[in-house]
Amino acid sequence: MNSLNGKIDAAAREQGFALVGFARLRELPRESFYGEWLAQGRAGEMAYLAREPERRFDPRRLDPSLRSVISLGYPYQAPRVPEFDWQRELRGRIASYALGPDYHGYVLDKARAVAAAIGQFRPDCRTRVYVDTGPVFEREWAREAGTGWFGKNTNILNRERGSYVFLAEVFTDLELEGNEMPYGDYCGTCRRCLDLCPTQALAEGYLMEPRLCISYLTIELRGAIPVELRPRLGNWIFGCDICQDVCPWNDGTEGTTSDELAPSLPELMRLNEEEFRLRFRGSAIKRTKRRGLLRNAAVALGNSANRDAVPILADVLESEPEPIVRAHAGWALGRLGGPAARRVLEKRRIVEEDASVRGELAEALASNCG
């Protein structure tokens, strides 16, 4: 590592980045794959992925002066989930990365501090910084820079850090020394992530179908969750960690337990807009909005097989202003079944004004065996 690379590496590690790599910019050979991926509709409701896709293949299209990238990985803990019976206690699950402040803010600040340090080493240099906020193929540049390899779970994996890292990039017009040796692939014959994904979103060839991914369904998808996929969500209400939790390269990375990973579903269902904003202010969870989180919580209640959830869902049908939440609450009642759930569904179907909700209530009644 030359002198300038070494100084940048030291500055990045001072900011807490555990992975630091360098690559010279080139046009990534992903245009054909990405074009086909978009044409197949795999972006789902993530329309931003289709806007000016050519900018993603070469950062020099964003700024012709750019020459190199510093790829950074900021580690985060994946606390153990406390031992509990989620179905009896009616508790949901959120992905570990969503604990605490939204990483988009504080990791971006740390990456900007690295860019500022580069400016001290070379005062006339140009930099551009990204943390999951721009048209950048982050994982591709992380691999190019030698920080890890594409795992079968489609995350960047590192033998020392596993996959529990947030990626960041500092692009610069400096001609930095790039990584000369590829990291290598250490997934071997392991198939844990493919075999244990509840929705079978992962496929051979290091591929993912985003529209089946629980993270997509609980965060990016704004409309109704496909009925056939709802039972497979279990109690996940924001994101999913399964393909990382089961990865052998993440063994031993867990920290302490955290109750925040398993919030009370009834408590969430009672949140109004103001309470939601206050509780999740500064959190990544706010991205799904109140209606999205309560939609997901309703599905989890339906998957609980615990009829103690019936009165909670009945209250939702009675007073919830968001049709999408009422619709999923109706589905949940049908899944729980029983006379009490049927009475609630029959009563609400008579007075419900929204057509989509009435449809869900009718389907729920049809599936309720009494």
270 — phi, psi (to 5°)? -95, -5
Q: How confident is the model at residue 254, as a pLDDT?
A: 55
State pLDDT tens for residues 319-344.
999 999 999 999 999 999 999 999 99
As given in the structure block, the two tokens for residue 268 are: 């969430």
| Overall size of the chain counted in residues | 370
Question: Mean pLDDT over residues 284-310, rounded?
Answer: 97
pLDDT at 164 over 70: yes
Q: How confident is the model at residue 49 (pLDDT cuts 50, 70, 90)?
A: confident
Question: Which residue type is seen at 48?
Answer: Y
Q: Which of 35, 241, 219 is nearest to 210 (CA)?
A: 219
- Taking the C-alpha atoms of residue 152 and residue 134, their distance in angstroms, rounded to an integer, is 24
Domains by residue range for the chain, with CATH:
264-370 (1.25.10.10)
Strand partners, 129: 170
Question: Which residue type is seen at 62?
Answer: L
pLDDT at 28 over 80: yes
pLDDT at 184 over 70: yes
Q: How confident is the model at residue 247, as a pLDDT?
A: 95
pLDDT at 82 over 90: no
Q: How confident is the model at residue 252, as a pLDDT?
A: 63
pLDDT at 62 over 90: no
Evaluate whether 248 touches 273 at the Cβ level (below 8 Å): no
Contacts of 229 by beta carbon, 8 Å cutoff, 6+ apart: 199, 212, 217
State pLDDT tens for residues 228-287.
999 999 999 999 999 999 999 997 655 677 788 899 999 999 999 999 999 999 999 999
Lowest mean pLDDT among 4-8, 45-49, 106-110, 313-317: 45-49
Q: Is 251 a catalytic residue?
A: no
Question: Which residue type is seen at 253?
Answer: T
As given in the structure block, the two tokens for residue 49 are: 């992925």
Q: How confident is the model at residue 5 (pLDDT cuts 50, 70, 90)?
A: very high
Query: 24-27, long-range: CB within 8 Å, 24+ apart, which pairs?
Result: 24/67, 24/68, 24/175, 24/176, 24/178, 25/58, 25/59, 25/60, 25/66, 25/67, 25/68, 25/69, 25/171, 26/58, 27/57, 27/58
- Taking the C-alpha atoms of residue 133 and residue 61, their distance in angstroms, rounded to an integer, is 16
Query: Per the residue annotation, which of 9, 58, 132, 315 is the catalytic one?
Result: 132
As given in the structure block, the two tokens for residue 306 are: 């615990």
CA dihedral 294, 298, 303, 305 (to 10 degrees): 130
Percent of the chain surpassing pLDDT 90: 80
Question: Model pTM greater than 0.75?
Answer: yes
